[in-house]
């Protein structure tokens, strides 16, 4: 019985993590880049 | 005390053993995604190349043709489409701008590519286009899915506006990185005239003369399979104008012919970016899940060992020491 309780305690944070991933949206990624679509060679890549 | 410790270890082992597959098969597909605001430029070159000189109407050898390709994530459009699609969507506004050796425009092809941020499957929505023409993509373009498989994929060709298989041709090593090599050949196909050309020929003149544009290419990609990102790309590209006698005096004119390759500085830059992203993906799909699995086995073994020790019967108590009886002195 105590082993079952220990297993349940171990599973609880995993279930919480699953719930968190399914409910919480990833943080927004920011706005569209202000850089233009290029019409000239931007030169050597740094 | 030992029994309590073994139960704590058992709880930790269960946590680790459950967390490992959760990370790999539940969290990874939901957390790994292409950001909607990505901005990336790539420069490709063909050295030498054949190019149509529109002033002499003759194909000429030139030192270099440069293709400047920009991918720009359109966040506002992706949010708009996400509301209807009900999933994470990325909208890439792309431009392939081709310049001659003098830096002047030879051709340009703007595109809007809409795809699922997690699987990279195309999402068919309003606005999807190539050179202003609405299209309906059925294959991938620019990027392969995370955890790319050793199989053929449908790949969208912007010139023909159609999708056809791009074949997996084997695993190679590219600059110390294991990559999958893919190849696609588009046979000679009649394609639309680009909307932007160095000289303006009215569409009705083109239609009357019967002038047509034809194109063939062999497309090669070296794909890092964990991220699905191309670390190198090449194209052996040919374009012709046919039925050109009425306008240009000859039946067939080569517009462009060349072996287009990614420029060295961009190969290095993309390689560094892919190596960094690869580590992040590997942490979620491999390193952390496997570490948790081994840790779970270790904790379980330790828990069982402690449990077994706690159940071992206690040793029998030693017989009490009796002092030697000394002989009574009389």
Instruction: Give the model confidence (pLDDT) of B152-172 as tens digits.
Output: 999 999 999 999 999 999 999
Would the pLDDT of B41 be above 60? yes
C-alpha B28: how far from its chain's center? Answer: 16
Contacts of B76 in chain A (CB under 8 A): 32
Q: How far is CA B149 from CA A32, B143, B169, B231, B290, in A?
A: 31, 13, 12, 16, 21
Q: Which of B199-208, B235-244, B258-267 has the lowest mean pLDDT?
A: B199-208
Mark which residues 5-34 of B lie under 8 Å from A by CB.
7-8, 10-15, 18-19, 22, 26-27, 30-31, 33
Inter-chain CB proximity B36 and A29 less than 8 Å: yes
Instruction: Specify the pTM.
Output: 0.88
Q: What is the CA radius of gyration of chain B?
A: 32
Reduced 3-state DSSP string for chain B? CHHHHHHHHHHHHHHHHHHHHHHHHHHHHHHCCCCCCCEEEEEEEEEEEEEEECCCCEEEEECCEEEEEEEEECHHHHHHHHHHHCCCEEEEEEEEEEECCCCCEEEEEEEEEEEECCCCCECCCCCCEECCEECCCCCECCCCCCCCCCCCEEEEECCCCEEEEEEEEEEEEECCEEEEEEEEEEEEEEECCCCCCCCCCCHHHHHHHCCEEEEEEEEEEEEECCCCEEEEEEEEEEEEEECCHHHHCCCCEEEEEEEEEECHHHHHHHHHHHHHHHHHHHHHHHHHHHHHHHHHHHHHHHHHHHHHHHHCCCCCCCCCCCCCCCCCCC
B39 touches chain A (CB under 8 A): yes
Looking at per-residue pLDDT, the higher value among B126 and B56 belongs to B126
What pLDDT is recorded for position B197?
Answer: 82
Phi-psi region of B78 (alpha: psi -120 to 50; beta: other; left: phi over 0): alpha
What pLDDT is recorded for position B330?
Answer: 41
Confidence of residue A24 (pLDDT cuts 50, 70, 90): confident
What pLDDT is recorded for position B328?
Answer: 47
What pLDDT is recorded for position B250?
Answer: 84
B205-221 pLDDT, tens per residue? 777 888 899 999 999 99
User: Looking at chain B, which residue has its C-alpha nearest residue A45?
Assistant: B265
C-alpha angle with apex B266: B263 to B267, nearest 5 degrees?
85
Inter-chain CB proximity A39 and B76 less than 8 Å: no
Inter-chain CB proximity A13 and B15 less than 8 Å: yes
User: Looking at chain B, which residue has its C-alpha nearest residue A37?
Assistant: B70
Nearest-Cα distance to chain B for A2, in Å, is 7
What pLDDT is recorded for position B315?
Answer: 67
Mark which residues 249-288 of B lie under 8 Å from A by CB.
263, 265-266, 268-269
Nearest-Cα distance to chain A for B311, in Å, is 14
Looking at per-residue pLDDT, the higher value among A40 and A24 belongs to A40
How long is chain B?
A: 330
Nearest neighbour of B68 by CB, restricted to A6, A33, A38: A38
Question: Hey, of A2, A4, A6, A46, which one would you mutate to test binding to chain B, going by the most B CBs within 10 A of its CB?
Answer: A6
What ipTM was assigned to the predicted interfaces of this complex? Answer: 0.87
């Amino acid at each position: 019985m105590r082993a079952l309780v220990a297993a349940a305690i171990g599973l609880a944070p995993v279930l919480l993590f699953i719930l968190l991933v399914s409910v919480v949206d990833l943080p927004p990624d920011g706005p569209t880049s202000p850089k233009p679509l290029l019409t000239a060679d931007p030169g050597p890549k740094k | 005390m030992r029994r309590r410790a073994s139960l704590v270890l058992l709880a930790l082992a269960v946590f680790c053993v459950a967390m490992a597959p959760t990370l790999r098969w539940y969290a990874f597909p939901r957390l790994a995604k292409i950001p909607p605001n990505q901005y990336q430029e790539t420069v490709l070159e063909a050295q030498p190349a054949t190019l149509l000189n529109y002033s002499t109407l003759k194909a000429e050898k030139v030192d270099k043709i440069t293709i400047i390709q920009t991918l720009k994530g359109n966040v506002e459009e992706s949010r708009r489409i996400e509301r209807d699609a009900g999933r994470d969507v990325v909208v890439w506004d792309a431009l392939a701008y081709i310049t001659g050796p003098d830096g002047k425009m030879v051709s340009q092809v703007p595109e809007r590519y809409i795809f699922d941020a997690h699987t990279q499957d195309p999402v068919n929505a309003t606005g999807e286009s190539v050179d202003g023409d609405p299209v309906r993509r059925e294959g991938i373009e620019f990027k392969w899915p995370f955890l790319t498989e050793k199989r053929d994929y449908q790949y969208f060709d912007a010139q023909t506006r159609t999708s056809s298989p791009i074949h997996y041709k084997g695993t190679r090593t590219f600059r110390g990185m294991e990559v999958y090599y893919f190849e696609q050949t588009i046979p000679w196909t009649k394609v639309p005239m680009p909307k932007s050309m160095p000289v303006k020929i009215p569409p009705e003149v083109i239609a009357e003369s019967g002038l047509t544009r034809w194109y063939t290419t062999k497309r090669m990609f070296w794909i890092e399979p964990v991220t699905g990102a191309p670390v190198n790309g090449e194209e052996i590209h040919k374009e012709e104008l046919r039925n050109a006698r009425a306008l240009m005096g000859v039946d067939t004119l080569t517009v462009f012919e060349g072996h287009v390759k990614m420029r060295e500085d961009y190969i290095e830059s993309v390689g560094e970016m892919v190596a960094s992203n690869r580590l992040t993906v590997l942490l979620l799909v491999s390193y952390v899940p496997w570490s948790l699995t081994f840790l779970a086995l270790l904790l379980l073994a330790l828990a069982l060992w402690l449990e077994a020790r706690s159940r071992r019967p206690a040793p029998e108590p030693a017989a009490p020491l009796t002092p030697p009886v000394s002989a009574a002195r009389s």
